[in-house]
Structure 1
Amino acid sequence: MNRNRAIGALLVLATVATAIYSCNKKAFEPAEEVVFIQDARLEEEGLTRAPGDAIHLNGTGYQQTDNVMFTFTWETGDNMIPVGKASGIYAKKQETDSDGITAMLPYRYPAADVEVNVMREGKFQKIGSLKITDGQSPEELRLYGIDNAGKSIDGFILDVNNVGRKSLGIALPEDFHSVINVPRSFGLCGIAGKGNVKTAEHVDFFTGKAETLATYVIALVMTPANAVVAITGKDGVCTLLTLPIEVGADYMTKSDTPHPTQPTFTLPEGLRTECFGDYPGIFIGSAESCSYLLSANKGDGNWATVMLDKDGFRKVEDIEAAAVIPFRAGEDAGYIVTYEDGPSLFRPVNAKTGEMSQAIYTCKTGRILSATSNPQKPDHLLLNFSDAFNGTNIYDLDWNNLKTLSPIVLPNSVGDYAEALMAN
């Protein structure tokens, strides 16, 4: 019983991540200021700098273990809460010696006054202050296509008629797939690599760089709290890891809060770690009691549907298909069963048993390569189709409006995409 409670708590942990993080942030507020840096000064004192710029802390007595901490204060324009504040923000250090530290100003915060402190063994010394220009994540959703052939992520801003204007192009990690967006992160998280040693990579659109967040990854899932959990596995034994992905300052969360001891799960008999990860998993149920739906590719057109809940993995059903894609739209969650030359069947799943019911929607437009939804548009699915004559085509499926398909029009110069999703 205690083990089940621990596993249940882990599966819904991300739901309370925001509250935990908010409490933890208070612990970083300077409680005791001392002087351990002599002649301390900020080279950019009083100036205005942009996110990503380097700043220089000068003086004598810096140590390699010193941390640079920021406190942001800004006007919100809200009469009820006129001032926003974020403290306890660790800077990325670029260079440290006894005479100074070079650090980078972070992205994802509004234009603000910034106080710069050094923290050593829990004690703080203020070095100086400056201003930072706006670096917030965009609020509007944009379309992103994963072009593995061209090794790039292409971004598009859509107008009211779903016509796209290219806004971004970033190099891809190798074999990047199973892509998820954490809302307001301005980046994409996915799995890179093949075989037994796959990694979770986060591509940051602000910096254009990819960062490895986890290894031995078999699948990624989005939780009810809009955090990404990596299911990691080695030798058939798996654990869950919430990935530390930063989001916009107005969300004020980061999913790297302390976790309890991770329980372990054993894969179902006959399924190997490399069977998973073709598509992201989705949650089913409520934040208080959720499970995850996964699909496993056994090869040669053979798939299995798999449920992960507080009791562990459970293989539910074997099925022959070209692909089995977990989906979530509106109040429904289940699998899209696609066939090479036939229709795609949208089959909802029983939240308790994991069993699929009969199809509630059949799509005959073409074979579906990817199907994604976004928390900002939960009643819509972005479908990426493969057509033998026209390449790939992308449609918006309005789940609650008679399953209406609306085409997305992109520039003729773009290539075919393995995956497409709406993100910000």
Structure 2
Amino acid sequence: MSAHPDFRSVVNLQKTYGLCGLAKENGVQQPFFLDFCTGEWKALSFYDYNTLALVIGSGNDIAAIQQRGKGYSLYNVSAGLEQSNYATKTRSNFPMPEPLFELPEGFTPEQFGDYPGVFMQGNEIILLSARKGNGKWVPMLYNYRNGFYVLEGIEADAIIPFYFGMALPDSGSPSLLYQKKVGYMIYYSSGDNSGSSFRLLEPDKESSKLQLQEPFVQLSDKKVVSITNRPDRIGTITVLFSDKEEGRTTSDFDWNSKEWTDYTDLSDMPYNSVVWAN
């Protein structure tokens, strides 16, 4: 890890035996792939383009919101990675880059990239989080056809986008058997709301505008460090916690039972991220 000690915002492309994430090179935040077999690093961007965030697409591809000139668009950065399932390589399973969009006024590239983004249902809108400093974060949406949309800022120590899938009753259409639920984990280190809360982002019943809902999980004594998901584990998210007494622990949350299951066989090490690999 000495080549990129700031490696973060980690995501996994299945069957590649490695991990993708962001790190700075030449002063610019860029995507890299760490190969588990060789220990080598591979740059996933051919030029020094700034990358706001990485996100897993529906076709097991990794997309990057990258800068070109003064604007940003969505690009596939994982098409060249070899997969052990002999997947056919393509130039891109994402649409051709749409028009470039500038960041909203008052935001800079350095405020993004702490955590991966997540796609909403339909894979057109991505949830992002921007670190404004002085204890304030801003949830932001990116639509590759329409650009950025800023949600109301939050006084917090961290906000992390997350998603999980829900199985729906058989409607006769394969595309309607799976639905994503998306939202943000919000962490407060102090105050009346101290701890970690999980809130869904859903349309308001009256205005139809996307709004954060009331917490469906509130953990007053836990700090969430990282959240991941595996599509075949319906209704489940995997969470990495940091606790002063217990150290770093990992648990699954089941949406249907509302119960947590701990991974007790993991060693107590200062993990920074949790991700399902291969």
- TM-score (ref. length: structure 2): 0.82
Q: Return the alpha-carbon distance in structure 2 between the equivalents of residues 195 and 294 of structure 1.
A: 24
Please give the per-residue CA displacement for 1:362-397, whole angstroms capped at 9, x wherever unaligned: 233511011111223242211111112222111121
Does 2:105 align with 1:274? no
Offset, 1:316:
1.2
Aligned mates of 2:6, 2:102 — CA distance in 1: 26
Identity of aligned residues (%): 32
Q: Give deviations 1:181-224, integer Å, cap 9, x for gaps.
A: 11222211100128961110011222221101124112111222
SS in 1 for 2:37: coil
1:300 to 2:155 alignment: no
Within 2, Cα distance between the matches of 1:321 and 1:349? Answer: 17
Q: Tell me, in whole angstroms, the C-alpha distance in 1 between the residues paired with 2:161 and 2:266.
A: 29
Partner residue, 2:31: 200
Instruction: Give 1 or 2 for the bigger CA radius of gyration.
Output: 1
What are the within-5 Å matches in structure 2 for residues 74-93 of structure 1? none
Structure-to-structure mapping, 1:106-125, within 5 angstroms: none
Structure 2 residue runs of 5 or longer lacking an equivalent are 166-179
Superposed CA offset, 1:76-100 (max 9, x none): xxxxxxxxxxxxxxxxxxxxxxxxx
Higher helix share: 1
CA shift for structure 1 position 241 = 1.4
Cα deviation, residue 179, structure 1: 0.5
Give the alignment partner of residue 397 of structure 1, picking from 238, 253, 263.
Answer: 253
Where do residues 405-424 of structure 1 align in structure 2 (5 Å cutoff)?
A: 405-410=260-265, 412=267, 415-424=269-278
Answer yes or no: is 1:212 the counterpart of 2:67: no
Aligned equivalents of 1:217 and 1:224: distance in 2? 20
Aligned: 1:345 with 2:194:
no
Offset from partner CA, 1:297-346 (integer Å, 9 cap, x none): 01121010101112101111111111000000234111111111422111
CA RMSD of aligned residues (A): 2.4
Quote how far apart the aligned CAs of 1:410 are: 3.9
**Separation of aligned partners in 2, 1:303 and 1:382:** 23
CA deviation profile, 1:34-91 (whole Å, cap 9, x unmatched):
xxxxxxxxxxxxxxxxxxxxxxxxxxxxxxxxxxxxxxxxxxxxxxxxxxxxxxxxxx
Counting matched residue pairs gives 251
The answer as to whether partners of 1:230 and 1:242 remain within 8 angstroms in 2 is: yes
* Separation (CA, whole Å) in 2 of partners of 1:213 and 1:237: 19
**Which is strand-richer, 1 or 2?**
1
1:2-401 map, 5 Å: 151=1, 173-193=4-24, 197-214=28-45, 215-233=49-67, 237-245=71-79, 246-250=81-85, 252-254=87-89, 256-257=91-92, 260=96, 262-287=98-123, 290-309=124-143, 310-330=145-165, 331-341=180-190, 342-350=194-202, 353-400=209-256
TM-score (norm 1): 0.55
State the one-letter code of the partner of 2:182.
A
- The verdict on how the C-alpha distance between 1:322 and 1:253 changes in structure 2, with shifts beyond 3 A counting, is farther
Secondary structure at the aligned position of 1:293 is classed as strand
Q: Could you tell me which amino acid in structure 2 is paired with residue 242 of structure 1?
A: N
Partner Cα separation in structure 1 for residue 138 and residue 210 of structure 2: 12
- SS for the counterpart of 1:274 is helix
Question: Deviation digits for residues 98-135 of structure 1, max 9, x if unmatched?
Answer: xxxxxxxxxxxxxxxxxxxxxxxxxxxxxxxxxxxxxx
Matched with 1:125 is none
Amino acid at match of 2:102: T
- Determine the C-alpha separation between the residues in 1 that align with 2:269 and 2:56: 28
CA distance in 1, matches of 2:92, 2:233: 27
